Structure 1
Amino acid sequence: MAEEETEDLVIEFEGNFDLDSVRGQQIQVIGIDTDEPVLRIDSKFYKIDVKDSIGSRLILQQGMDGKLSYYAKTDKVVTARRVMIKPK
């Protein structure tokens, strides 16, 4: 069996987005290698835009003690905007 490759992805959602509403939901990125990737969360679809950042963005994680520590950095800005999909 082939080993699956995973990658961390940080996404900024445009508009009013409730992060708690996606807890436990299946999240799928469709067409990540295309010009128009789409994020699917349950039955909702989001258009993804990937842009280069000016400088690096740090990603921090909160430890059990409540302190923030360095996790990673990125030079990409990934935003997601809700879209409606029309059936063919």
Structure 2
Amino acid sequence: MATRTVTIASSVGLHARPASLFVEAVGETGLDVEIGRPGEASVDAGSILGVMALGAKHGEEVVLTAEGPEAEAALDRLAELLATDLDAQ
């Protein structure tokens, strides 16, 4: 299982537009990806409601996990996306 820990860069955290862009990118991977705070239960990263309900704020760390043949590369791309201020784009 591949894992990445990343700090949320978007100024509003994972709400509305940033969450939508992230969930869309997760869907493009074709993998089952989960996201959660370190030490807490994770949610389906492909679910906009799950990601928004997580309530991850700017500057908070989240952990991404996935399993599959392309999981390492997919998580690298997703972590890079979360480390970008998606509100500024």
- TM-score, with structure 1 as normaliser: 0.23
Identify, as 1 or 2, the structure richer in strand: 1
Q: Which has the higher helix share?
A: 2
With a CA cutoff of 8 Å and minimum separation of 6, indicate the structure with the bigger relative contact order: 2
For the pair shown, the structure with the greater C-alpha radius of gyration is: 1
TM-score by length of 2: 0.23
